[in-house]
């Protein structure tokens, strides 16, 4: 007999690679009776769910049509009220631009038990994959995460002053289409045009790509790269240590002028 009310788990799938799932996330997926997953979650991760599990793709991919947040909330509620254990599977970490706060508040207001299972976020995955630190003694004492998209969750005018601090590593999510705008705003707030910066496509995956550029050339470099997957922008002196960039002439010039 199904239970009267199920439970909802907001689970971080990480940035893409299945072997970056936490043990807790793996167990949650393997025990799911209903799986609501983002469009960017890898097929090999979705395949870990039981064959009898109800599976619904809810979209959530930049620039493409997706299910509204209100509809996702209502769907989770309806499935949980049917007595199913629901896994809401999100790319990265649910608490970093994943709307976990909204979903938790909605579900708890309707008497549904909710648990958050953290995941590896793209900035951490990119740093590990390409061998650079997000903080570094004498270079980066602070890490700030922001979205590069206009509107919701974007850094406001007050935040840009912090992001322009030369001792800050600034990681911008969803940055493929706004790299030039991000760079211009940082420079306008005082960040040196020669600051090293990188763009990482598909962080953690086998097809991940990294390009490096001076901050004032970042927009052009991203456009020329022709990225099609999700792109993370990382700005700051510590990014010059990325393995894929250290042999390029642009790296040496950026490092020389940033000092």
Catalytic residues: 38, 60
Say which residues have a Cβ less than 8 Å from residue 186's Cβ, sequence separation at least 6. Answer: 160, 163, 164, 170, 195, 215, 235
For residues 244 and 226, what is the distance between their CA atoms, to the nearest angstrom? 18
Say which residues have a Cβ less than 8 Å from residue 172's Cβ, sequence separation at least 6. Answer: 146, 147, 148, 178, 182, 232, 233, 234, 235
For residues 140 and 122, what is the distance between their CA atoms, to the nearest angstrom? 18
199 to each of 68, 92, 209, how far by Cα in Å?
29, 17, 8
Say which residues have a Cβ less than 8 Å from residue 82's Cβ, sequence separation at least 6. Answer: 2, 6
136: helix, strand or coil? strand
What is the per-residue DSSP string for 178-209?
THHHHHHHHHHTT--TT-EEEEEESTTSTT-E
Question: What is the token pair recorded at 65?
Answer: 């049509």
Which phi and psi (to 5°) does residue 178 adopt? -130, 20
């Amino acid at each position: 007999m199904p239970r009267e009310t199920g439970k909802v788990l907001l689970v971080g799938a990480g940035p893409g690679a299945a072997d970056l799932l936490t043990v807790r996330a793996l167990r949650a997926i393997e025990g799911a009776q209903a799986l609501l997953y983002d469009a960017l979650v890898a097929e090999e991760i979705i395949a870990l769910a039981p064959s009898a599990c109800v599976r619904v793709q809810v979209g959530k991919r930049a620039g493409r049509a997706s299910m509204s947040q209100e509809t996702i909330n209502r769907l989770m509620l309806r499935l949980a009220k049917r007595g199913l254990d629901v896994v809401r599977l999100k790319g990265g970490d649910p608490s970093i631009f994943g709307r976990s706060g909204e979903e938790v508040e909605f579900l708890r207001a309707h008497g549904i038990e909710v648990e958050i299972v953290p995941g590896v976020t793209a900035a951490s995955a990119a740093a590990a994959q390409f061998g650079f630190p997000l903080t570094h003694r004498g270079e980066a004492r602070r890490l700030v995460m922001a979205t590069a998209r206009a509107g919701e969750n974007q850094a406001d005018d007050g935040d840009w002053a912090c992001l322009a601090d030369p001792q800050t590593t600034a990681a911008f999510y969803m940055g493929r289409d706004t790299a030039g705008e991000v760079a211009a705003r940082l420079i306008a707030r005082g960040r040196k045009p020669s600051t090293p910066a990188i763009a990482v496509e598909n962080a953690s995956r086998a097809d991940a790509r990294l390009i490096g550029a001076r901050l004032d050339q970042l927009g052009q470099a991203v456009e020329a790269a022709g990225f099609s997957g999700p792109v993370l922008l990382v700005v700051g002196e510590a990014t010059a240590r990325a393995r894929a960039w250290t042999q390029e002439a642009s790296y040496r010039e950026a490092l020389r002028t940033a000092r």
